[in-house]
Structure 1
Amino acid sequence: MTGQDGSYLAESLLSQGWAVHGLARHAPAHPHINEGETLVEGVQYHVGDLSRPDEVGSILKSVQPDLVFNLGGISSVYQSWQQPYETALVSGASVVSMLEATWQLQQESGKEIRFLQASSAELFGEAKSTPQNEMTPISPVSPYGAAKAFAHHAVSVYRGRGMFAASAILYNHESLRRPAKFVTRKITAGAAAIAAGKLDKLSLGNLSAVRDWGWAPDFVDAMERILNAPEAMDFVVATGVSHSVQDFVEAAFAAVGIEDWRAVVEVDDSLARPSDAAEMRGDITKISSELGWQPSMDFESLVAAMVRNDQSLLQDDQAPQF
């Protein structure tokens, strides 16, 4: 709940009058800005570990929820290559334990409990066609994608059991709360630091990777719509427009007035992933037609907003370290 999506979701639900309970990995007292941790006043936080089924199940039982959003897990594809087993456990197996705990709670209480899984476009790693939609074959190319694929299938299994279980197949999405370990935040913070004379060079990996980048608050709105839909289904959540990492770099440096970004950016092959997905671009026909959802922010505006935020943090001496 302290993460990028969790904090925006908490703010939205609280504004609608919901009582909001959130899971945190440690006692939420001092949020770490550059680790993407944000505390939201009004949330009742519970300290717990997704890899411990009894712990999570106990929290669910004490809360007696109406809606369950699972946004947790290892959130970095790069990190999943460093910690493949932990990724399988936290982003895959833990989802099954949470689904089962929710199902058992629903059976005991006799009331419907709706469950939403934050799935990922990394399911489609070896996609043979672009854009991808809900019928695109699942073919992950990373431990992260494989864990998400297992969880995605588990949601379908519990839906077949009679539970309202849905997946939001999320494409890349960014915001001012994106942790510094992500390449997008590294780019915007780096551009701000170079423009301010605080950094000489920015080292990046694969600049040719192509992704569909959206605005995190828009994606939170999509997840709420999916959980409030008449029927439990899976939906692709994206913008339908793709850009390369190089495009992201160009937009970030343009936002700080640096045209010749090549003079201050170097490519370090050691930062590249062992295997990377092909072009990721989502087809949002289904969610647009059935739930009326559309993204509100374009690519250039998104990047510029992140850069301005990093410039502000730099002035307040809260910028991430390189």
Structure 2
Amino acid sequence: MTVAFITGVAGQDGTLLAEQLVGEGVDVHGMVLPSDDRSLVADRLPPGVTLHVGDLADHDGVARLLRETEPDEVYNLGGISSVAFSWQQPALTGAVSGLGAVHVFEAAWALQESSGRQVRVVQASSAEIFGQPERTPQDERTAVRPISPYGAAKAYAHQMAAVFRSRGMHVATCILYNHESPLRPETFVTRKITAAAARIGRDRSGVLTLGDMSVRRDWGWAPDYVDAMVRAVRHDVPDDFVIATGVTHSVEEFVATAMAAAGVDDWHRHVAVDESLVRPADAGVQVGDARRAHEVLGWSPTVSFDEIVARMVRHDVEIAGGAA
């Protein structure tokens, strides 16, 4: 039986990945932080996932967990997940999302050396590594030049994956563009929007406060992106893969689509802009060229932008106790 180890199993991608792997009959182990409520996390995950307490910043602890679980596949999804938070805690972001990834690579390499069998790793990279991109759309050859602490930490991890790959280790990276599902917490702007749309659609009142609504992003369906990571780690040759839809939409378009799905026609009067929510520096137009993933991994996105937003709104309408 294949054994998989997932860091960040409590998050959106970790939860979806656990569901996919358990469905395939994989023995899944997941790492949660000491501060996580393990009972709550376990309730969200499919039966059969074994949880382990650990921290990416703890080099020895990560190594111990991989020795104990002896995985065939390691999915490094853990780390600081918010660009906005990374501006508040840049050093912590670097320690967890940057150096923490190297701790995973080192632990996997040590296990491979001691066991004499291959240990495959996939690093969840990010479009934020491109910062203000030199070209649009971006592909695997686009220059890495981050402009946020989050992007810088992810860039370090991304480049260290290539270093370990050159050492003979099977380390793939998936450069993930924005990907959403109802599992996103409301600290993410997309879920903040759909949750507010559901409440406004129910009550016909309320205001959604946002920052820069002109920002454009390439949004996809999170289960598709998780599937891409599984394909990448299992491909014969480890490499870098951009995972994206190739289509951009603005935050304003996301709002309009969510409000329409919630039955709100006059959405403009329910939205306010707060300049304090604008980031110190925001990445340029992020749109990915995923042709390599299509050709090499056989991967393609399966859900349209409108349907992604509609699914999230329907979920939040159910939570709000209304109908849309």
- Which bin holds the TM-score, normalised by the shorter protein? over 0.9
The Cα shift of 1:2 comes to 1.4
Residue 65 (structure 1) aligned to one of 68, 71, 87: 71
For 1:236, what is the secondary structure of its paired residue?
Answer: strand
Letter in 2 for 1:8: L
**Equivalent in the alignment of 2:25:** 17
Residue 89 (1) aligns with residue 99 (2): no
- 1:268 pairs, out of 249, 268, 274, with 274
Paired position in structure 2 for 1:28: 38
1:253 corresponds in structure 2 to: 259
| Cα deviation, residue 199, structure 1 | 5.2
Asked whether the equivalents of residues 190 and 199 of structure 1 are also in contact (C-alpha less than 8 Å), the reply is no
Match of 2:186 in 1: 180
State the identity %: 51
Aligned partner of 1:296 in structure 2 is: 302
Which is worse superposed, 113-122 or 125-134?
125-134
Q: Is the 8 A contact 2:22 2:46 kept in 1?
A: no
The number of equivalent residue pairs is: 312
Distance 2:77 2:316 in 1: 25
Q: How much has 1:39 moved relative to structure 2? A: 2.5
Q: Is the 8 A contact 2:181 2:221 kept in 1?
A: yes
> How far off is 1:128 after superposition?
2.0
CA apart distance, 1:260: 2.0
**1:38 Cα deviation after fit:** 3.0
Q: Is the 8 A contact 2:98 2:157 kept in 1?
A: yes
Aligned to 1:98: 104
CA distances 1:167-226 after superposition (whole Å, capped 9, x unpaired): 000000000101110000000000111111185111001101110000000001100110
Instruction: Report the RMSD for the aligned CA atoms in angstroms.
Output: 1.3
CA distance in 2, matches of 1:278, 1:204: 18
CA distance in 2 between partners of 1:13 and 1:78 (Å)? 31
The code of the aligned residue for 1:221 comes to: D
TM, length-normalised to structure 2: 0.94
**What's the counterpart of residue 235 of structure 2?**
229
Contact conserved, 1:28 with 1:39, CA < 8 A, in 2?
A: no
Structure 2 unaligned runs (5+)?
1-8
Per the alignment, in what secondary structure is the counterpart of residue 230 of structure 2?
helix
* Letter of the 1:251 counterpart: T
Matched letter for residue 256 of structure 1? A
For structure 1, the 5+ residue unaligned runs are: 317-322
CA change 1:98–1:31 in 2 (3 A) is closer
Q: Distance in 1 between matches of 2:261 and 2:181?
A: 16
Which runs of structure 1 show a deviation greater than 2 angstroms over 4 or more consecutive aligned residues?
37-40
Q: Give 1:260's aligned amino acid.
A: D
Distance in structure 2 (CA, Å) of the matches to 1:106 and 1:205: 46
* C-alpha separation in 2, matches of 1:142 and 1:42: 38
Q: Cα offset for 1:59? A: 0.7
Mapping of residues 70-219 of structure 1, within 5 Å: 70-197=76-203, 200-219=206-225
Hey, what's the Cα distance between the residues in 2 that align with 1:158 and 1:31? 32
Q: Secondary structure, in 3 states, of the residue corresponding to 1:65?
A: coil
Secondary structure at the counterpart of residue 203 of structure 2: coil
Other-structure match for 1:320? none
- Could you tell me how far apart the structure 2 residues matched to 1:83 and 1:315 are? 37
TM-score (norm 1): 0.95
C-alpha distance in 1 between matches for 2:311 and 2:21 = 24
Relative distance call for 1:250 and 1:94 in structure 2 (3 A) is same
SS of match in other structure, 1:94: helix
- What is the distance in 1 between the residues matched to 2:124 and 2:11? 13
The alpha carbon displacement at 1:256 in A equals: 1.1
Contact 1:191 1:256 in 2 (8 A): yes
Alignment deviations for residues 118-144 of structure 1 (CA, whole Å, 9 cap, x no partner): 000001111021100000000111000
Letter in 2 for 1:39: L
Letter in 1 for 2:129: L
Distance in 2, Cα, partners of 1:75 & 1:245: 19
Partner-residue secondary structure (3-state), 1:147: helix
Q: Distance in 1 between matches of 2:48 and 2:319?
A: 25
